[in-house]
Amino acid sequence: MASPRKLNCPLPDALWAALEARTRNTGETLDQAVVRCLGEALDLSRHSIFQISTSAALVKGVYQGAATVAEVKRHGDFGLGTFENLDGEGMQLDGNCFQAKGDGSVTQPSDATPVPFWVTTRFKADRTETLSEVRSWADLCDRLTKLRTSDNLVAAIRLDGVLDFVHVRTACKSAPGTDLVTAASRQKEFKFEKVQGTLLGFFTPTYARTINVPGYHLHLLTEDRKHGGHVLEVRAARLQALLHLTSDLHLVLPENEEFLKANLTQDPAAALAKAEGGAATNS
Amino acid sequence: MASPRKLNCPLPDALWAALEARTRNTGETLDQAVVRCLGEALDLSRHSIFQISTSAALVKGVYQGAATVAEVKRHGDFGLGTFENLDGEGMQLDGNCFQAKGDGSVTQPSDATPVPFWVTTRFKADRTETLSEVRSWADLCDRLTKLRTSDNLVAAIRLDGVLDFVHVRTACKSAPGTDLVTAASRQKEFKFEKVQGTLLGFFTPTYARTINVPGYHLHLLTEDRKHGGHVLEVRAARLQALLHLTSDLHLVLPENEEFLKANLTQDPAAALAKAEGGAATNS
């Protein structure tokens, strides 16, 4: 057997000091500590969700960038989010980020683009199933619930196939401080038939509703990368469902004045249901 | 200037693959990726809170170990928690963990000891202030609130000094599944006068009340390491207050059957207030 490859990398003094402090605290050798730290940071040890800001902040209209697309990409290759001033819906698939705007266009934002809210993970399917004859959004949610093992873990969800019908909305750029319900009332809606694409997103437990959007939250990205948005309604003859179950959430809170001063004490459940559910019954 | 020290460490193949995938996704060089990953894992880049399980789970009686004292120590040197079957109160100070039991004793749990809930951080004070004539728990909370900059960030808090009076409770070992309010009703209470010690713990934003205990949550550890517990009431002529403000929460959810099957949909605020507040007015 070949001997393992060796890392040969210069480290700043502060990092050496922190590594050495770690080995003193834990009794690990330096090599063990390096392997464990790299494994943690690269999410090898657990299936992790990395999240920027909270749903409670979004509901209160805290839309200023807390991180950038580059930071999102460092922590995952799959996920969803939104952009500064709620300028559209964000989709992240196979490592690339996309922005679906209120005018119906989809672009790839640069790495420097600020994002006020994003949820990302390194997607590896724990379960793969085929869903036949998906009749509605409610039906899809019921079918996905049967594939999950617990309502207390976050699940990342990817659905690929031909969508017989899909109804999406995209948020439109709003003035800073506009609350989410008001902003969502000006959203644009789009309907597509017979389109190849991916629905991507998350199931979030009810208890985490002040942190992330509770229940199922999926965005569309069409295979030609021309259309996308927040999914309100869907029908499909056959979808391939990939589920990635996680037990590890890394939450980064914004440090801007807007977030620090916001009143986030209210339960955002009702506002989230209104803003995120949108015209779901109107399909 | 001396050239920087080099890390020379063998890595498993899976870690090489993950590192290389990371550099492809982000455009970083291998050395840059290693430095950034180690910095993240060692919490150099941000002030992070690492948390095991949630307050919602504790309230529902999910007390089985989700991690160990060793894992707690890897992620922080300061914090609080509890033990399997709610067997006492946990304190972590300067890297060491302590267990205050219902019989009034304090011991140092082994690294293999399971913990169902713990909050830890690498404590570095952002603010240091002297608090004079602390008249009560309520007064202490008001004074600490003036030292914080936002109600939307978690703050780690350390208070050192002579406590003229301190009233604590310690949870007593309970049967699995006993809810927190019932378990807390059997807690033991202890009062001390003129004792040198440390109050240690956290301020948690209201919006995170399903995740952690909201508001101020402090445990006592006396300087002789003989007494400890969850603080209900306090008076002190002079305390040194150290505040460590954080914007980064790493939450690890248990993967045991007990957690996965628990009904965590209710708001635990009322139960937490009752169980954690205890006999605070009875001092």
Contact partners, residue A125, CB within 8 Å, separation at least 6: A158, A242, A243, A244
Question: How far does the CA of residue A248 sit from the closest CA of chain B (Å)?
Answer: 4
Query: In the predicted model, what is the mean pLDDT of residues B64-79?
Result: 90
Cβ pairs A/B, distance under 8 A: 204
A24 plus A112 within the same structural domain: no
A200 plus A233 within the same structural domain: yes
Buried b (16+ CB within 10 A) or exposed e, B40-53: bbbbbeebbbbbbb
Q: Is residue B112 part of a domain?
A: yes
Amino acid, single-letter form, for residue A53: S
Give chain A positions within 8 Å (CB) of B18: 38-39, 42, 44
Domain with A31 in it? 12-41
B56 plus B31 within the same structural domain: no
| Confidence category of residue B177, pLDDT binned at 50, 70, 90 | confident
How far, in Å, CA of B198 to CA of B163, rounded? Answer: 9
Determine, for residues B149 and A251 on separate chains, whether the beta-carbon distance falls below 8 Å. Answer: no
Query: Is residue B282 predicted with pLDDT exceeding 70?
Result: no
Q: Is residue A266 part of a domain?
A: yes
Q: Is residue A6 part of a domain?
A: no
Q: Is residue B278 part of a domain?
A: no
Question: How far does the CA of residue A166 sit from the closest CA of chain B (Å)?
Answer: 30
Q: Is residue B267 part of a domain?
A: yes
Ranges of chain A whose pLDDT falls below 70:
1-2, 43-46, 278-283
Determine, for residues A37 and B42 on separate chains, whether the beta-carbon distance falls below 8 Å. Answer: yes
Query: Is residue B166 predicted with pLDDT exceeding 50?
Result: yes
pLDDT tens column, B112-164: 999 999 999 989 899 999 999 999 999 999 999 999 989 999 999 999 999 99
Nearest C-alpha in B relative to A255: B247
Length in residues, chain A:
283
- Position B161 scores a pLDDT of 98
pLDDT tens column, A214-247: 999 999 999 999 999 999 999 999 999 999 999 8
- Position B90 scores a pLDDT of 98
Instruction: Give the total number of structural domains in chain B.
Output: 2
| Confidence category of residue B27, pLDDT binned at 50, 70, 90 | confident
- Position B183 scores a pLDDT of 84
pLDDT tens column, B74-113: 888 999 999 999 999 999 999 999 999 999 999 999 999 9
Smallest Cβ distance to A253: which of B25, B152, B251?
B152
Q: Is residue A35 part of a domain?
A: yes
B137 plus B27 within the same structural domain: no
A241 plus A104 within the same structural domain: yes
Query: Is residue B281 predicted with pLDDT exceeding 50?
Result: no
pLDDT tens column, B115-124: 999 999 989 8
A121 plus A243 within the same structural domain: yes
Mean pLDDT of chain B: 90
Nearest C-alpha in A relative to B52: A248
B62 plus B103 within the same structural domain: yes
Q: Is residue A273 part of a domain?
A: yes
Determine, for residues A248 and B252 on separate chains, whether the beta-carbon distance falls below 8 Å. Answer: yes
Smallest Cβ distance to B210: which of A34, A210, A264?
A210
pLDDT tens column, B184-226: 888 899 999 999 999 999 999 998 988 898 999 999 999 999 9
CATH of the domain at B120: 3.30.1330.80
Nearest C-alpha in B relative to A37: B41
Answer for the pair B182, B202: CB distance below 8 angstroms, yes or no: no
B138 plus B233 within the same structural domain: yes
B28 plus B120 within the same structural domain: no
Question: How far does the CA of residue A190 sit from the closest CA of chain B (Å)?
Answer: 31
- Position B28 scores a pLDDT of 86
Q: Given the structure tokens 């659905």, which residue do they identify?
A: A159
The ipTM is 0.83
Determine, for residues A260 and B153 on separate chains, whether the beta-carbon distance falls below 8 Å. Answer: yes
Residue A239 CA, chain-centre distance (Å), reads 20
